[in-house]
Amino acid sequence: MKIVLFVILGLMAPLGIANHNLSSNPVSYEYATVLDTQPIIESVRVVTPVEECWQERVSDRHGDHGVGLVVGAFVGGALGHVVGHKKKNKQVGAVLGSILGATLGNAASVDRRSRRHHYRTEEYCEIVEQSHYEERVIGYDVRYRYNNSTYTARMDTDPGDTIRVRIEMSPVS
């Protein structure tokens, strides 16, 4: 079985090579003279992230965090309880004294806080996008001469004085 396979492959191989040579076109490379090169310029938007910082004056209050309110309510409630003569009066006196004491204690702490008003400077930053437009070369239109004929091509880079061209020959039917 192996011998038959080798014989078949051996007979087909020359046919494949011969057939391949018949179907391919000869290719060669030559150099053509560049006549003119024109850059293709496009306006491009360029975005750049930039950190912008600024300073702000910030109020720096040192409050009692409700201490005046609580102390005033406690003291007012105790005084209201002492002033009342009967049990019911003591309870009403304690409630009214607490409310009045809380109001006076809070007012006193707010007044004291307003006298201790300080400011400090804080810096804040954020990233913003700044954009501008630039003119960029995105390619070149090239006019070149080969064999007394003029051709044009668009290329990514400037080819210089000469350009390499691919010459492929094929029979005309």
Supply the pLDDT for residue 161. Answer: 96
Give just the sign of the alpha carbon dihedral 157, 162, 167, 172.
positive
Which among 170, 168, 154 has a CA at the least distance from the CA of 37?
154
Q: Report if residue 19 sits inside a domain.
A: no
Supply the pLDDT for residue 59. Answer: 81
The pLDDT tens digits of the residues spanning 17-74 come to 444 444 567 899 999 999 999 999 999 999 999 999 999 998 876 555 566 666 666 6
Q: Report if residue 82 sits inside a domain.
A: yes
* Element spanning 172, H or E: none
Domain count across the chain? 1
State how far the alpha carbon of 145 is from the alpha carbons of 36, 148, 164, 168, in Å: 10, 6, 11, 17
In angstroms, how far is the first alpha carbon of the chain from the final one?
45
Lowest mean pLDDT among 34-43, 94-103, 105-114, 141-150: 105-114
Q: Report if residue 139 sits inside a domain.
A: no
What is the Cα 38 distance to its own chain's centre?
Answer: 35
Report the pLDDT averaged over residues 4-15: 50
Q: Report if residue 4 sits inside a domain.
A: no
pLDDT grade for 5, boundaries at 50, 70 and 90: very low
Supply the pLDDT for residue 148. Answer: 93
Report the pLDDT averaged over residues 137-148: 96
Contact 126, 100 (CB under 8 A): no
Q: Report if residue 22 sits inside a domain.
A: no
Q: Print the domain residue range for 109.
A: 63-115
Q: How far apart are CA 100 and CA 48, in angstroms?
A: 61
Q: Report if residue 93 sits inside a domain.
A: yes
Q: Report if residue 16 sits inside a domain.
A: no
Q: Report if residue 80 sits inside a domain.
A: yes
Higher-pLDDT residue of 157 and 118 is 157
